[in-house]
Structure 1
Amino acid sequence: MVRRMGRGRVLLLLAAAAALIAAIVVVLGRPAAPADGDPQGGVVQTRWGPLSYTDRVLLVKVRQAGLWEMPAGQQAQQRAASPRVKEVGDTIMEQHMQLDADTRATAAKLNVILPNQPSVQQKTWLAEMSNKIGADYDKTFVLRLRAAHGKVFSVIAQVRASSQNSLIRAFAERALRFVNTHMTLLESTGLVTDSALS
């Protein structure tokens, strides 16, 4: 129990650090953000090569994935019935903490501002899971996370295949390893259905 509380504090410290970094980037640097009136966002030149709108979207999507999956993994420790679901949730939480630090460091180098909260849909998933416990929680946790990982996996793979930015390509490779591991872990619970794979 003490170990779990320690992780919760670490998670809060990471979130506070992320907010501070985002504030510093806003104050000190011009973000590599889409130009006004240009829905595609244009291309920003960096020392690692051109940074496209899609490259920036990758950083945002991976950041947002962590912002809801870290709390979901922590929540699984209290709400899940299956020891395997608890173990998978713990591993996903810990690995997302590592990936989140990597995402923030990469974004800082490229001067990209990241969100500090999950998307509206991700918040809805967290709220849905917060209303469940036991076997019902296990199923919802696994299905929501597996479906979300499948979606972000395709975004990462597309960027890895097409980005002209060497820093983004290297980041995408690292992110792919994490996401692939998470899909395998979630599938190992035996709760993944065909609908989660679509």
Structure 2
Amino acid sequence: MLGVQKASSAPDRIIAAPKSGKLSEADRDFVVKVRAAGLWEYSVGLMALQKSTTKSIRTAGQQLTAEDASLDAACRSTAGQLGITLPDQPSPQQQGFVSRLNADSPEQFGADMATTVRAVDGQLLMTIASVRSTTKNSLIRALAAEANQTVLDHIRAVEKTGLVDFDQAVFQETSPPSLPAHDLTPPPPAAGQPQVILTPPADSTVSPRSTVD
């Protein structure tokens, strides 16, 4: 297994050469980032359904949970084919997002959730574009295409709430990370534990997008 790691200092280094094409460190790290992003956003989506009484926020929550579950299935499939170990928890920074939103009052939650998702997904969108344009692996290209559509859908969903603080979102999106590397790195999965699988809520009205082969 290739392991759970943060973006490396040698992203162009080739670490495997499967039939789907050469796999770089950046490719591997991208799969891990997609998994970690889904883990924290899925939790926030569930929180929106449980905590908010605002229709637009609940609608966004439904979209996040359903589409993150679909993208997670694609991510797990890609990782399995490429021998990449995935985390079962988001990074400490992402866990901090979840904890902060969980502590919000129902009234404050909507604006904080919409702004946080908009900012973080804006950053992820730039990562997706970079990986899609540089990867030599067909499985990574397919995952990047699905991740791109999912992230755009999520950005549109939170923008439709009318609660995004765009000044704050753009500031967070464009500011360099000030946290130590370990806070940006998802922990490796616990040995012997079943893999966490994201599933859409039973009453979801959002049709999941088909996953990559």
Q: TM-score range by the shorter chain?
A: 0.7 to 0.9
Aligned-pair CA distance for 1:81: 3.3
Aligned: 1:165 with 2:137: yes
The answer to whether the Cα contact below 8 Å between 2:111 and 2:165 also exists between their aligned partners in 1 is no
Shift of the alpha carbon at 1:155? 0.8
1:77 partnered with 2:49: yes
Q: Are 2:70 and 1:98 equivalent residues in the alignment?
A: yes
CA deviation profile, 1:53-82 (whole Å, cap 9, x unmatched): 110111011100111111110111122231
1:48 aligns with 2:23: no
Q: TM-score, normalised by structure 1?
A: 0.79
Q: 1:79-131: per-residue Cα shift (whole Å, max 9, x none)?
A: 22311101111111111001001100001000111111010011111110111
Q: Relative contact order (C-alpha < 8 Å, sep 6+): which is higher?
A: 2
The one-letter code of the counterpart of 2:123 is: K
- 1:4-43 equivalences under 5 Å are 31-33=1-3, 39-40=9-10, 42-43=13-14
Equivalent residue letter for 1:91: Q
Identity of aligned residues (%): 33
Q: How does 1:49-198 map to 2 (within 5 A)?
A: 49-194=21-166, 195-197=168-170, 198=173
Give the aligned residue type for 1:86.
R
Q: CA deviation at 1:143?
A: 1.0
The residue identity in structure 2 corresponding to 1:165 is N
Q: Is the 8 A contact 1:32 1:112 kept in 2?
A: yes
Aligned residues: 165
Contact 1:81 1:133 in 2 (8 A): no
User: Unaligned stretches of 5+ in structure 1?
Assistant: 1-30
Q: Distance in 1 between matches of 2:85 and 2:18?
A: 15
- 8 A contact 2:115–2:164 mirrored in 1: yes
1:8 is matched with none
Structure 2, unmatched stretches of 5+, are 174-213
2: CA distance, partners of 1:103 / 1:51: 15
- Which structure carries more helix by proportion? 1
Q: Is the 8 A contact 2:52 2:58 kept in 1?
A: yes
Instruction: Tell me if the contact between 1:106 and 1:167 (Cα under 8 Å) persists in the aligned partners.
Output: yes
SS of equivalent to 1:81: coil
Question: Residue 22 of structure 2: SS of its match in structure 1?
Answer: strand
Normalised TM-score (structure 2): 0.74
Distance in 1 between the 2:97 and 2:73 partners? 23
| Structure 2 CA distance for partners of 1:165 and 1:190, relative to 1, 3 Å | same
Query: Superposition RMSD on alpha carbons, in Å?
Result: 1.6
CA displacement at 1:133 relative to structure 2: 2.3
d(CA) in 1 for partners of 2:69 and 2:134?
Answer: 27
